[in-house]
């Protein structure tokens, strides 16, 4: 998946 797949949510 593209790198925008970040876990910035709780």
State the nearest-atom distance from the C-beta of 5 to other proteins, in Å.
6
9 DSSP 8-state letter: -
Q: What is the DSSP annotation of the chain?
A: --TT------
Give the span between the Cα atoms of 7 and 3, in whole angstroms.
Answer: 11
State the nearest-atom distance from the C-beta of 9 to other proteins, in Å.
7
Count residues binding other proteins (CB under 8 A). 9
Build a one-symbol-per-residue string for 1-10: x at contacts with other proteins by CB under 8 A, - elsewhere: xx-xxxxxxx
3 DSSP 8-state letter: T
Which residues of the chain form contacts with other proteins (CB under 8 A)?
1-2, 4-10
């Amino acid at each position: 998946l593209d790198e925008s797949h970040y876990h910035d949510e709780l």
